[in-house]
Amino acid sequence: MPPKDRQRIVKALEEMTGNPFGGDIASLKNQPSAFRRRVGDWRIFFDFYPDKKLIVVAAIKRRSSTTY
């Protein structure tokens, strides 16, 4: 991963600790607690459990025709 992209992703992850739904967020179909956040060409896939105040990052992948 290029350093510039890494910095943007780390910044997005830090922002998510305060507001998990800030930025370009979309829920994933048929998965009520699963979401993705767009960061340039990268996607952060995560689960959010509001009752536990918990965010679990499942994957960080570069966007391609097979990402979703």
* Residue 54 CB-density burial (10 A; 0-12 exposed, 13-18 middle, 19+ buried): exposed
Confidence of residue 1 (pLDDT cuts 50, 70, 90): confident
Calculate the average pLDDT of the chain: 91
Would the pLDDT of 68 be above 60? no
Q: What is the pTM of this model?
A: 0.85
The amino acid sitting at 28 is: L
pLDDT at position 67, please?
56
* Residues with Cβ within 8 Å of residue 31, at least 6 apart in sequence: none
- Mean pLDDT, range 23-29, rounded to an integer: 92
Residue with tokens 């979309």: 26
The hierarchical CATH code for the domain 3-62 is 3.30.2310.20
